[in-house]
Structure 1
Amino acid sequence: MRRIKIGVIGCGMISEVYLQNCTQVFHHVLEVVAVADLVPELAAKRAKEFNVPTSCSVEELLANPEIEIVLNLTAPVAHTIVNEQILNAGKHVYTEKPFALTREDADKILNLAETKGLLVGCAPDTFLGASMQTCIKLIEDGEIGTPFAANASIILGTPANGNHPNVQNFLKLGGDPIMDMGPYYLTALVAMLGPIKRVTGSAQKLYEEVTITNEDSPRFGETFPVEAPTNVAATLDFDNGVVANLQATKESFGYKPKVEIFGTKGNLVVPDPNFFGPFPEFPVVVDVEIQYPNFETKTIPLTHGFCENSRGIGVADMAYALQSGRKHRASGQLAKHILDVSLGIFEASEKEKHIHIASTVDRPAALPVGLKDNQLD
Structure 2
Amino acid sequence: MTSPLGVAIVGCGTISHQYLSNLITFPDVRVVACADLDLARAQEVASQYGVPVATTPEQAMAHPDVELVVNLTIPSAHAAVAMAAVEAGRHVYNEKPFTLDRESGSKLVEAAATAGVRLGSAPDTFLGAGLQTAARLVAEGAIGAPLTALTLLQSPGPESWHHSPEFLFQRGAGPLFDMGPYYLTALVTLFGPTRRVAAMARRAREERIIGSGPRAGTRFPVEVPTHTAALVEFAAGQAATMVFTFDSPLPRWGFIEITGTEATMEVPDPNTFGGEVRLRRAGDDEWTPVPTPGTTAGRGLGVLDMAQAIREGRPHRATGELGLHVLDTMLAIAESAERSEFLEVGSTCPMPEPLSEGWDPVKGHG
TM-score by length of 2: 0.96
Partner of 2:16: 15
SS at 1:113 equivalent: helix
Say whether 1:160 aligns with 2:159: yes
Partner of 1:289: 282
Cα distance in 2 for residues equivalent to 1:267 and 1:367: 22
The correspondence for 1:198, drawn from 193, 196, 209, is 196
Partner of 1:117: 116
SS at 1:31 equivalent: strand
Partner of 2:39: 40
Partner of 1:248: 244
Closer, same or farther in 2 for the Cα pair 1:374/1:277, shift >3 Å?
farther
The correspondence for 2:185, drawn from 184, 187, 201, is 187
Deviation at 1:358, TM superposition (A): 0.8
Native 8 Å contact 1:163 1:219 kept in 2: no
Partner of 2:106: 107
SS at 2:317 equivalent: coil
SS at 1:362 equivalent: coil
Superposed CA offset, 1:291-321 (max 9, x none): xxx534211111x31124x210111111111
Map 1:321-340 to 2 at 5 A.
321-340=309-328
Cα distance in 2 for residues equivalent to 1:147 and 1:38: 47
SS at 1:334 equivalent: helix
Map 1:216-255 to 2 at 5 A.
217-253=213-249, 254-255=251-252
Cα distance in 2 for residues equivalent to 1:60 and 1:286: 51
Partner of 1:142: 141
Percent identity between the aligned chains? 40
Q: Residue 101 of structure 1 aligns to which amino acid in structure 2?
A: L
Cα distance in 2 for residues equivalent to 1:218 and 1:288: 51
Cα distance in 2 for residues equivalent to 1:263 and 1:23: 40
Closer, same or farther in 2 for the Cα pair 1:221/1:105, shift >3 Å?
same
Q: Residue 9 of structure 1 aligns to which amino acid in structure 2?
A: V
The correspondence for 2:335, drawn from 347, 356, 377, is 347
Cα distance in 2 for residues equivalent to 1:358 and 1:52: 41
SS at 2:70 equivalent: strand
Map 1:51-130 to 2 at 5 A.
51-130=50-129
Deviation at 1:241, TM superposition (A): 1.3
Partner of 1:305: 294
Say whether 1:207 aligns with 2:205: yes
Aligned residues: 363
Deviation at 1:156, TM superposition (A): 2.9
Deviation at 1:38, TM superposition (A): 1.4
Native 8 Å contact 1:194 1:238 kept in 2: yes
SS at 2:126 equivalent: helix
Superposed CA offset, 1:193-232 (max 9, x none): 1111000101211111112122xx2321211111111100
Native 8 Å contact 2:325 2:348 kept in 1: yes
Closer, same or farther in 2 for the Cα pair 1:231/1:368, shift >3 Å?
same
Cα distance in 1 for residues equivalent to 2:365 and 2:90: 22
Q: Residue 69 of structure 2 aligns to which amino acid in structure 1?
A: V
Give unmatched runs, 5+ long, in structure 1: none
SS at 1:234 equivalent: strand
Q: Residue 295 of structure 1 aligns to which amino acid in structure 2?
A: D
Superposed CA offset, 1:58-91 (max 9, x none): 1211221210000000000110111111111111
Cα distance in 1 for residues equivalent to 2:227 and 2:264: 27
Cα distance in 2 for residues equivalent to 1:159 and 1:136: 30
Q: Residue 307 of structure 1 aligns to which amino acid in structure 2?
A: T
